[in-house]
Chains A and B, each alone.
Chain A
Amino acid sequence: MHYSWDDTAVYRRETHPAFLSEAMEGKIVDDEEIVRRMFRDDPRKAFEVLFKRHYDRLCNHAIRFVVSKDIAEDIVAEVFTAFWHRRLFEQVATSYRAYLYRAVRYQAYNYLKWELHRSDSLEGVDILMHLPEQNPDEILHYNELHHKIDEVILHLPTQSRKAFLMHRMEGKKYGEIAESLGISVSAVERLVSRALSKLRSELKGFWLGLLFIFWI
């Protein structure tokens, strides 16, 4: 079941007194506000609401960058883990929603850059606490990056795209892919690595664009 942000039904179900009184006054209450209040009274419950509210959408956003369910879920879990166990919910100054999206995008970006270019972005990993400020162009660039990734994948030769997506998205082994495509294992390997090197070369200019902004 999916709720949209405007759908306040989910909070009725929580029957939070703060919500009820204001809802009865006919005021539109942003659910962000309600979750924040809940964190004051019952953090454990609030965290659950926040998590279940955002988890699948954040995974869906992360996967646009990393093109792998496992890695996307890993990245989102990492962000939530820090949020809960390091009590970032006490420190985040923006809305939780904005924080979570920024953190997930940043982590996904770092991961992808690392995977494709093996740059040692080790230092880039401890930023969950202090996410770097982003200027408007950078914010938009993230979206353009995942469009670009999608475009590259869409334009791969059919077999290569199939093998790549089965391997990355569905986490299938080379042997399984070989069987379902009716080709040899080494052919699958070649197709997948060709897809990766295509991504690498096509995204080259894209990284630089973002890097430039990061370090100037």
Chain B
Amino acid sequence: MDSNQVPKSILFAFFEGKATAMQRKMIEEWLETPASREYFYQCLDEWEGQHPQYILSEEHVHQAFNQILDNPPFERLESAIKPVHKTIFGSKQWLIAASLTLMMLTMSWVFRKTIFFKTYHTDFAQTQTLTLQDGSTVTLNANSSLWVPRFEFYKDQREVWLEGEAEFKVTHTHDHKRFVVKTDSDFAIEVLGTEFVVQTRKKQNSVVLNHGKVKVNYALGKALYMKPGELFVVNKQSGKAELKQVAKPHQYSAWKQHEFYFDNTPFVEVAELIHDQFGLKMSIPDSALAQRKITGYFKAKRAEDMLSALQMLLEVRFERKENNVIEIHTRPIINL
């Protein structure tokens, strides 16, 4: 220990908020070297040990520890319920040797999926409301799936997996069990009794919060807390994240009433929604049309309702082709 060592007693006085300005200056100057920083944190730790703000039981610490071991930051549905094929197919020499094992593995995993998870799925233009064991309700939007563990739902935390879009109304349990919505990407929402809408489609993941508080893990090691009335969007390609205040959060669950709300939404995004919602693929002929802005409410139980409204609005004509492709004619075709 060098002679310039700041005594522990002065550090402790500082931690307590009782150091004089001169003592603070002394500590500041001393802190320039890595060794003194190490000593600083060592003393801070010792001081914290002597001045607890609240007491954590050993049991509680143990639980917290197991939770961390069991919960890698973003366990994906893929790896949770399906074997990972990529690693095996990646190297050819293993292919033959592994094929038999893989087949057996796949069988047992598929089997596992049906045994351990109850799957709910909605088709295009269909919504479904379901109640989970804990009383929480989930409304699935069209073309969406939800996996709910049959047996371990209550284990450490309540976990479900979502593909598509859904509104959650989560109940609070007596033991404050977390409710976690996981998705296929690095995106998971942790909840403590709340109401929110999650969307996980091809292009973006998003969450709108109506009531309560949620924590969103949106990329490896990135997380944020949301407050009611906020919309959080992560673009899947660019990874760009955006948090913004929305005036009417309930508009984001308008699909429950087969209503759709657009506010200066580019047509290309509307087309994306039509694809997610009704399974129709719009082929947009030019970028000017793609960027045309659309504003308003649409009530549409079937795709046709929305398409006919859009035809008028954009002054175009839609023509349904094979494979659910919609061709767009920018100049009206006059049928003779």
Contacts and interface: CB of A to CB of B under 8 A. Distances in A.
Central interface residue in B27, B68, B73, B243, by most chain A CB within 10 Å = B68
Nearest to B172: A173
B74 to A, nearest CB: 9
Contact of A85 (B28, B31, B73, B225): B73
Nearest to B55: A56
Interface stretch (B35-43, B128-136, B282-290, B328-336): B35-43
B37 A48 contact: no
A5 interface: yes
B61 A55 contact: yes
Interface in B7-47: 14-15, 17, 24, 27-32, 34, 37-38, 40-42, 44-46
Given A74-B215, A114-B224, A126-B219, A101 B41 contact: yes
B49 A48 contact: no
B69 interface: yes
A52 B14 CA distance: 27
Interface stretch (A18-26, A90-98, A196-204): A90-98
Contacts of A52: 61-62, 65
Contacts of A63: 53-54
Contacts of A94: 34, 37-38
B71 interface: yes
Contacts, number: 125
A147 B42 contact: no
B58 A1 contact: yes
Interface in B166-182: 176
B41 A97 contact: yes
A143 B30 CA distance: 16
B73 A97 contact: no
B67 interface: yes
A169 B53 CA distance: 10
Given A77-B68, A85-B73, A101 B44 contact: yes
B56 interface: yes
A83 to B, nearest CB: 9
A143 B42 CA distance: 15
A85 B75 CA distance: 11
Contacts of B34: 94
Interface string B237-248: 000010100000
Contacts of B215: 74
A146 B223 CA distance: 23
A77 B243 contact: no
Contacts of B221: 82, 86, 125-126, 128-129
B64 interface: yes
Interface string A54-70: 11111111011000011
Contacts of A1: 58
Contact of A64 (B28, B45, B53, B192): B53
A42 B54 CA distance: 32
B243 A120 contact: yes
A81 B220 CA distance: 11
Interface string B216-237: 0001111111000000000000
Contact of B68 (A51, A56, A64, A139): A51
A80 interface: yes
A114 to B, nearest CB: 7
A37 to B, nearest CB: 17
Nearest to A59: B56
Given A82-B221, A139-B40, A171-B176, 12 more contacts: A5-B42, A5-B49, A55-B56, A55-B65, A56-B55, A57-B52, A60-B54, A63-B53, A82-B73, A98-B37, A101-B45, A140-B31
Q: List 10 tightest A-B contacts by C-beta distance, closest first.
A: A136-B31, A147-B17, A98-B41, A56-B56, A57-B48, A136-B28, A85-B72, A101-B41, A125-B222, A60-B53
Interface of A: 1-6, 48, 51-52, 54-61, 63-64, 69-70, 73-74, 77-78, 80-82, 84-86, 94-95, 97-98, 101-102, 111, 114-115, 120, 122, 125-126, 128-129, 136-137, 139-140, 143-144, 147, 150, 169, 171
Interface of B: 14-15, 17, 24, 27-32, 34, 37-38, 40-42, 44-46, 48-56, 58, 61-62, 64-65, 67-69, 71-73, 176, 192, 215, 219-225, 241, 243
